[in-house]
Structure 1
Amino acid sequence: MRTGVIGTGNMGEILIHALIDSKAVMPSELSIINRTEVKAKRLAEKLPGVTLAESIPKLVQTCDLVFICVKPHDIYPILAEVKDLFRPEQCVVSITSPVSTAQLESVLSCSCMRMIPSITNKVLSGAVLYTFGERCQDGWKMEMKEKMELLSREAIEIDESVTRAASDLVSCGPAFISYLTRRLIEGAETTGMDAETAEKLAECMLTGLGELFKQKEYTLAQLEEKVCVKGGVTGKGIAVLEEETGDMFSKLFKATHQKFAEDKQETAAQFGIH
């Protein structure tokens, strides 16, 4: 089975590495293309066996499974150009949250699904979110579940109504946590600790924390209870966090949902349906 990836930006490149490293796709079975050719060419040179496709139409004609890894407003123009080249037995996977499976199916006659990866998939960990289209064939559902389980710790099917919130946790979450950790490190630096030491300690803490959850030692609530001794130092720190964060995360989700709504409005205008 031949697989194609349209778009080799940040997430496209991460997906390509995850597919190959997990052996979900062999390099010799993979074709890639990008609007900026030099970017895809540079990636193909790093991955022996991977084919740099001549054009999007050529990729569509020669691949059974096609991942579309471009910005939301770029998906419809690409599909509109090559929709007649797709065959019913193929499967198309969009990795962007604002484009629904119904929108894909309104243009294409093949199996369609949405799969939202995470940067954590680069090390074959974390989660992958997915939603199958109504007409997605059972064979493709089985095939894609197997692939997603190879390149992540868990593949989680989500309903359209929670797409954005789920994406915030799984896909955007690493960036949010990285930002908060960086601010934690900056706070440590105010005590006189050097930046390099603070960063190393924070990295060790995050790695260990992840391992605790991986081994199912504690839930989030249990871990906080174990570390936060009543009246102790950690408790003082938690009290500051409770006061300072306030409704910060509610505002965060409100902002991401507002952007999501804008993107969905644009894609709805392109596809003609929500």
Structure 2
Amino acid sequence: MKVGIIGTGSMGSVLLEAFIEFRALQPHQLFISNRTLKKLLVLSERHEGLNICRNNIQTVRCSDVIFVCVKPLQFASLIQEIKNDVRPNQLIVSITSPVQISHLENSLDCKIAKIIPSVTHKIGSGASLVMYGNRLDEKDKQILHDLLSYISKPMEIKESQARINSDFSSCGPAFISFFLTKWIDAAVEMTGSSREEITCLASEMLLGTGKLLTQGGVTPPQLQEMVAVPGGITAQALSQLNHSLDGVFHRLISTTHQKYDEDLEELDKLFDGPKINRPQY
């Protein structure tokens, strides 16, 4: 199988590196293109045999499955660029949440799927959210599922639930890291503790907590009950957190959904608007 990656920015590079690191693909099976040649050269130096394509059309022509890893508002022009070169048996996979499967199926004569990956795939962990278009058969779905299984836990979801699910799977690592950073900052400021030592403790705690929740058969409320003895220090601190964080997560979800809706509105305009001339190569 030949796999293309259009866009080797943050998440495109994560997918590429993870596919190679966890032996889902060999470098010679990967075809990549990006607006900045320097990024491609760095990746090719790191992975001998990686195929650098001169443009996105070449990536499409050389690949069976193509992961499109560009920003939402770049999609419409990209579609116009590649639409005459896609083949009906190809699978194009968007990794961009607000770009809808219908946007792509109405524009491209091929099979369409959407995934929401996570930075945690760098270590072969985390969930990848998967949404299938109408043209995929079971074999197509299995191919994508198997590929993602090397680097993540694929979870099929409804596209209507993509935003809230990606708040946890994709944005979540940043949210949790922000919480830990603020906690560590306070500890260092108030107690003079070593930042390195506290960061190590926090990281190991987070790893162990994750294992309890995923492998230990424990739910988040049960975990709190296990640690928070009535009248104890943890219970007192949880009470303070409950008071201080009242409404925070409702506002967090409102913020991510508002941004998603804004992007979706812009994309609807772009995909319904005047067609962009296809560049000549």
The answer to whether the superposition gives a TM-score over 0.5 is: yes
The code of the aligned residue for 1:192 comes to: G
The code of the aligned residue for 1:201 comes to: L
Query: What RMSD over aligned residues (CA atoms) do the two structures have, in Å?
Result: 1.2
Q: Counterpart in 2 of 1:231?
A: 231
CA distance in 2, matches of 1:87, 1:137: 16
Q: Counterpart in 2 of 1:169?
A: 168
- Whether the 8 Å CA contact 2:34–2:55 is kept in 1: the answer is no
Please state how far the C-alpha of 1:170 moved relative to its aligned partner.
0.3
Q: Identity percentage over the alignment? A: 39
CA distance in 1, matches of 2:198, 2:267: 44
Please state how far the C-alpha of 1:218 moved relative to its aligned partner.
1.5
The code of the aligned residue for 2:225 comes to: E
Please state how far the C-alpha of 1:193 moved relative to its aligned partner.
1.4
Matched, 1:127 2:133: no
Matched, 1:92 2:88: no
* 2:83 match: secondary structure: helix
1:177-256 correspondence to structure 2 within 5 Å? 177-189=176-188, 190-256=190-256
CA distance in 2, matches of 1:228, 1:156: 32
CA distance in 2, matches of 1:131, 1:41: 32
- Whether the 8 Å CA contact 2:44–2:52 is kept in 1: the answer is yes
Q: Deviations over 1:185-208 (max 9, x none)?
A: 112121221212211111111122
The code of the aligned residue for 2:92 comes to: V
Which runs of no fewer than 5 residues in structure 1 stay unpaired?
none
Matched, 1:71 2:71: yes
Distance verdict in 2 for CA 1:90–1:173, change over 3 Å: same
Please state how far the C-alpha of 1:212 moved relative to its aligned partner.
1.8
Please state how far the C-alpha of 1:139 moved relative to its aligned partner.
2.2
Q: Deviations over 1:65-119 (max 9, x none)?
A: 1110000011110111110100001000000000011111011111100011001
The code of the aligned residue for 2:22 comes to: S
Q: Counterpart in 1 of 2:278?
A: none
Q: Deviations over 1:44-81 (max 9, x none)?
A: 21111111111111111111111100000111101111
The code of the aligned residue for 1:183 comes to: K
Which moves more between the two structures, 33-42 or 87-96? 33-42
1:105-120 correspondence to structure 2 within 5 Å? 105-120=105-120
Q: Counterpart in 2 of 1:57?
A: 57
What TM-score do the two structures reach when normalised by structure 1?
0.96
The code of the aligned residue for 2:144 comes to: M
Which moves more between the two structures, 223-232 or 203-212? 203-212
The code of the aligned residue for 1:166 comes to: N
Please state how far the C-alpha of 1:155 moved relative to its aligned partner.
1.1
- Whether the 8 Å CA contact 1:106–1:271 is kept in 2: the answer is no
* 2:170 match: secondary structure: helix
* 2:171 match: secondary structure: helix
CA distance in 1, matches of 2:157, 2:226: 32
The code of the aligned residue for 2:255 comes to: A
Which runs of no fewer than 5 residues in structure 2 stay unpaired?
274-281
* 2:149 match: secondary structure: helix
CA distance in 1, matches of 2:90, 2:138: 12
Q: How many residues end up aligned between the 2 structures? A: 272
